[in-house]
Amino acid sequence: MKRLFVYLRDYKKECVLAPLFKLLEAAFELLVPLVMANIIDVGIANQDKGYILKMGLCLIGLALVGLASSVTAQFFAAKAAVGFSTKLRAALFGHIEDLSFTDMDRAGTSTMITRLTSDINQVQSGVNMTLRLFLRSPIIVFGAMIMAFTIDVRMAMIFVVTIPALAVVVFGIMLVTMPLYKKVQSGLDRTLGITRENLTGVRVIRAFHQEETEEKRFQESNQALTNMQMFVGKISACMNPVTYIIVNAAVMVLIYKGALKVNLGELTQGQVVAILNYMSQILIELVKLANLIILMTKAMACADRVAAVFTIGGESEKQRDAGEQTGLKADLKAGADHEKLTERQTGIGTGEKADFPYLSFEHVSLTYRGAGEKTLEDINFTVDRGDTVGIIGGTGSGKTSLVNLIPGFYPATEGRILLEGKDLKEYDENALRSRMGVVPQKAALFAGTIRSNLLWGKPDASEEELWRALELAQAKEIVEGKEGRLDAEVAQNGRNLSGGQKQRLTIARALVRDPEILILDDSASALDYATDAKLRQSLRSLEDRTTTFIVSQRASSIRHADKILVLDDGKLAGMGTHEELLRDCQVYQEIYYSQYPEERRSR
């Protein structure tokens, strides 16, 4: 919770003024019973209409000043709360954007959505109500008790007994409900996760006729969430009636004692009314405080959940920063800036060839966090600049995991990956990925226009660069056939485009940035063989400056690659050209001949 206070730094003035104006309102409210006592004891007792009118105008004045103070306090409290939540939400979103794939896998998408929306809204309400009532209610309670002491000490002793009893009830319920509200939010995460899965996978669910199963799963999760909310709600609901019982019991004692003292002439009727008014004020404020405690309990539970997100990825960021500092110091000691270092490593600008491969995997293994076994094991290969590398293997063999290591989406758990002779861990993450173009398995387009989607690859790309990328990706005809061409509308996730059109546009988006390394992760699966062949032919024109990795289930897509990697159950089963693998690698033979059985027969 303390970690989040930094986002209130720009609202120090509002955080001070809001409680101050509330205290001012409370001070005027505490004067009201005394004015009423004077009206009864002086004005009514003496039948002095002028005095009653004067005190009545005084009450109206106190009400108007109190109202102005209250509105001003609520304005500052709302400004601080809304500004705080805006900054917090922006910071949280930015932090989530910086998380690694490993961190996102651990956290989960549904819980991130809940924490960005529901949790932050609860924290915002908590901040708002705290600034408005957290000081006001205790001041009214203790102020009313003090004012009662100024009237009669013995009568005020009832307050001394009542207030601690109420405090025990309020804070006891708070301690019980705080952990329960955390469980409620976790249950909300699960329900939201199921909802998200059903919305994104609705076609698959319908295709396999699993509607009833998913409805049952949702109903079970929803009912469990409902039961938790009802249980904690029942406990919280006890607060108001218990406080009313205690306060009304105190009021009964006050009326009884007050009547005796009035008969004995120790108190006036106006003083008894004033003490009862103070007890009523205490009742009202404690009810408000009880509701505030419930709200604060929810807000604190949600704040802890939000703060927990900021701790995710902190260790990896520190390690990366330490690696960057180490690399920077090493470069400075060598007396070479980044450009000279790059020239020395690659040979560019010197006319000399580098004495090591452009990219190399050295005994690389990958184990996903929480997994029992290695996904990739002891992967060794090298790639020269400008090569085309094909990667093929059965489902679940680790093809996507392998290419995800190159941009650093996942860190290698064993071994190391060298780019231009330098470990990937020593590179700045943004600098490394700016040199790459990645087309994932699932084509992802955003709501907007074709132009806005392509500019994700390179924000300052010219019209000529966009059309060149579209031509290379075999997507030029798609754009030319659309009304508005580059400014044609694209629906969310590209719903108004076919699978093949989406894939070609995502390839064009990667090509716009003219990357040094292009990774195509099974990104042509929806293309027909003719279009796929044209795409491969156009990509060959990039071989001089772009190193291309093609992941595919089709042997035809990678058969002309300079080097083909064959994966089987996370291990490198074979490596070489198409002819070499067809001769020596049994796994590659099985894949190839399953797709071209006529060639097996001809042999």
pLDDT, mean of each 10-residue run, the chain (603 residues) = 77 87 84 82 81 87 89 91 90 84 74 83 87 80 80 80 81 80 81 84 86 90 90 83 82 83 81 81 75 78 84 56 42 39 39 65 85 84 88 86 88 88 85 86 84 85 86 84 84 81 86 87 77 80 80 84 88 88 86 79 59
Q: What is the CA radius of gyration of the chain?
A: 36
- Please name the residues in contact with 529: beta carbons below 8 A apart, sequence gap of 6 or more: 556
In a domain, 160, yes or no: yes
What pLDDT does residue 337 have?
39
Residue 272 lies in a domain: yes
Q: Residue 358: name the closest of 416, 418, 432, 436 by CA.
A: 418
Same structural domain for residues 288 and 337?
no
> 322 by DSSP, 3-state: which?
helix
- Is residue 326 located within the same domain as residue 441? no
Q: Is residue 352 part of a domain?
A: no
Considering the domain architecture, whether residues 442 and 456 belong to the same structural domain is answered as yes
Task: Kindly report the CATH number assigned to the domain that includes residue 19.
Answer: 1.20.1560.10
523 near 503, Cβ under 8 Å? yes
338 and 257 within one domain: no
Number of domains in the chain: 3
How much of the chain is helix, strand and coil, in % rounded to 5? 70, 10, 20
* Burial class of 141 by CB neighbour count within 10 A (0 to 12, 13 to 18, 19+): buried
Residue 112 β-bridge partners: none
Burial of 225 (0-12, 13-18, 19+ CB in 10 A): buried
Q: Which residues contact 459 (CB under 8 A, 6 or more apart)?
A: none
Beta bridge mates, 566: 392, 574
Other CB atoms closer than 10 Å to residue 363's CB: what's the count? 12
Q: Are residues 334 and 282 in the same domain?
A: no
Q: Give the contacts of 586 (CB within 8 A, at least 6 positions apart).
A: 573
Rounded distance between C-alpha atoms, residue 383 and residue 565, angstroms: 11
CA-to-CA separations, 499 to 9, 200, 399, 494, in angstroms, rounded: 48, 16, 21, 9
353 lies in some domain: no
DSSP type of residue 527 = S
Handedness of CA 230, 231, 232, 238 (dihedral sign): positive
Tell me if 546 is assigned to some domain: yes
Reference 180, options 229, 226, 221; nearest CA is 229
CA angle 64, 70, 72 (to 5 degrees): 105
pTM of the model: 0.66
Q: Are residues 460 and 340 in the same domain?
A: no
Q: What does each C-alpha distance from 347 to 207, 247, 421, 424, 517 come to in angstroms?
A: 55, 85, 12, 19, 18
Where helices occur in 335-381 by DSSP H, the ranges are 338-346
| Each residue's pLDDT tens digit, 370-393 | 777 888 888 898 888 888 899 988
Query: Does residue 370 sit in the same domain as residue 402?
Result: yes
User: What confidence score (pLDDT) does residue 328 get?
Assistant: 40
Domain boundary among 325, 346, 367: 346
Yes or no: say if 181 and 122 are a contact pair by the CB < 8 Å rule. Answer: no
Report the C-alpha gap between 360 and 183 in whole angstroms. Answer: 47
Contacts of 120 (CB under 8 A, 6+ apart): 85, 88, 89, 92, 302, 306
Tokens of 364: 């690389």
Q: β-strands 359-366, 414-419: how paired?
A: antiparallel
pLDDT one-digit tens code per residue, 483-506 = 888 888 888 877 888 888 888 888
Rounded Cα distance between 127 and 129, Å, is 6
Longest dimension (CA), the chain: 124
Tokens of 425: 């861990």
283 closest CA partner among 241, 255, 235, 342:
241
Does residue 354 sit within a domain?
no
User: Which residues lie closer than 8 Å to 243 by C-beta, 6 or more apart?
Assistant: 166, 169, 170, 283, 286, 287, 290
Same domain, 273 and 370: no
Structural domain that includes position 340: 317-346
Backbone phi and psi for residue 245, each to the nearest 5 degrees, phi listed first: -60, -45
- With beta carbons less than 8 A apart as the criterion, state whether 258 and 267 touch: yes
Q: Let me know whether 364 and 330 are in one domain.
A: no
* Whether residue 363 sits in one domain with residue 342: no
Residues 301 and 419 in one domain: no
200 part of a folded domain:
yes
Strand partners, 280: none
The single-letter code of the amino acid at 192 is L
pLDDT attached to residue 151: 80
Residues 160 and 193 reside in one and the same domain: yes
Query: Would you say residue 104 lies in a domain?
Result: yes
CATH of the domain at 567: 3.40.50.300
Residue 369 Cα distances to 413, 448, 501, angstroms: 10, 36, 35
